[in-house]
């Protein structure tokens, strides 16, 4: 990855940072941003990365289970003695496509485990140490879908991110008086590798060029006044700001990073 923005090499020197789900997409961009900024960086995924970097501490884990989050917390505590910055980025959608009625109880539970409870469990594991030190930052990665939910099986994903937003705001009120900042980023249409696959599939199915498919998806998402999709590194830059001392007066905020799609909040 060639990072497109300038980075101060000592910005996060000696900071212990965990970005969950950091082997691709937005997560990979955030890992690279903190790595370039001098942090001791760790990440997680369910499978080994194909292009692992020697200075990135990788922990293979399924964060949808208590055992998985427990294993990550144990490794971090054993190797590093805690965290200074936690970015809860791991998430996912159900494989079930179609109408809302197709979602089973198991589908709902899986979505909640991945998008809400994984963050809750990791926060619980690391927040105590941050509070004891009187410093730290927790960032939850949500989705603009919680403000514009689709009336199909994606509603479970949107609902889980809405729950994450409420939880994040509540946790910030607990942590703020003791010096720990909890905030959230809710991206809109960010063009990751997965998004590019969707664009290519749409182009094939509609028999249209990829640029036209991209525009079609943008319109179906409510339109993007900025006129383009977002970049993973743009999310990473906002995460770096929220993790830094520059955001010292920022508590309990949900930043909607969607190119202007949501008309009002």
Nearest in space to 248 (alpha carbons), one of 180, 185, 186: 180
**What residues contact residue 251 under an 8 Å CB cut-off, 6+ apart?**
172, 176, 181, 182, 183
Active site residue 255: no
Kind plus residue range of the DSSP H or E element containing 43: strand 40-45
| Residue 263 confidence (pLDDT) | 80
Res. 148 pLDDT band, cuts 50 70 90: confident
What was the pLDDT predicted at 100? Answer: 77
The CATH classification number of 16-190+231-257 equals 3.40.50.720
Domain boundaries, the chain: 16-190+231-257, 191-229
Q: Does the structure show a pLDDT above 80 at 198?
A: yes
pLDDT of residue 1: 59
Across the range 142-162, mean pLDDT stands at 90
User: What percentage of the chain exceeds 90 in pLDDT?
Assistant: 83
**Residues 59-92: tens digit of each pLDDT:** 999 999 999 999 999 999 999 999 999 999 999 8
| pLDDT-derived band at 229, boundaries 50, 70, 90 | very high
Per annotation, catalytic residue among 3, 157, 251, 255: 157
Contacts of 34 (CB under 8 A, 6+ apart): 12, 15, 17, 19, 41, 85, 240, 243
Overall pTM > 0.85 = yes
Question: Is the pLDDT assigned to residue 139 strictly greater than 90?
Answer: yes
Mean pLDDT in the chain?
Answer: 94
């Amino acid at each position: 990855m060639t990072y497109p923005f300038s980075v101060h090499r000592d910005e996060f020197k000696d900071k212990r940072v965990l970005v969950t789900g950091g082997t691709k997409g937005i997560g990979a961009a955030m890992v690279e941003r903190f790595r370039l900024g001098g942090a001791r960086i760790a990440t997680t995924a369910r499978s080994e990365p194909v292009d692992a970097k020697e200075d990135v501490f990788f922990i293979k884990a399924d964060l949808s289970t208590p055992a998985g989050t427990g294993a990550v917390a144990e490794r971090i505590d054993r190797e590093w003695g805690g965290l200074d910055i936690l970015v809860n980025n791991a998430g996912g959608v159900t494989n079930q496509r179609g109408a809302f009625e197709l979602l089973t109880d198991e589908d709902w539970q899986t979505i909640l485990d991945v998008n809400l409870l994984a963050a809750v469990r990791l926060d619980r594991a690391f927040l105590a140490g941050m509070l004891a030190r009187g410093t730290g930052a927790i960032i939850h990665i949500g989705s603009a879908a919680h403000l514009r939910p689709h009336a199909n099986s994606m509603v479970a994903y949107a609902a889980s991110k809405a729950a994450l937003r409420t939880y994040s705001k509540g946790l910030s009120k607990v942590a703020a008086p003791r010096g720990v900042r909890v905030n959230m980023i809710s991206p809109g249409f960010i063009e990751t590798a997965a998004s590019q696959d969707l664009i290519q599939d749409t182009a094939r199915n509609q028999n249209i060029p990829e640029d036209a498919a991209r525009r079609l998806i943008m319109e179906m998402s409510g339109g993007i006044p900025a006129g383009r999709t977002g970049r993973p590194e743009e999310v990473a830059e906002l995460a770096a700001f929220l993790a830094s001392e520059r955001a010292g007066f920022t508590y309990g905020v949900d930043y909607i990073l969607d190119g202007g799609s949501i008309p009002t909040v």
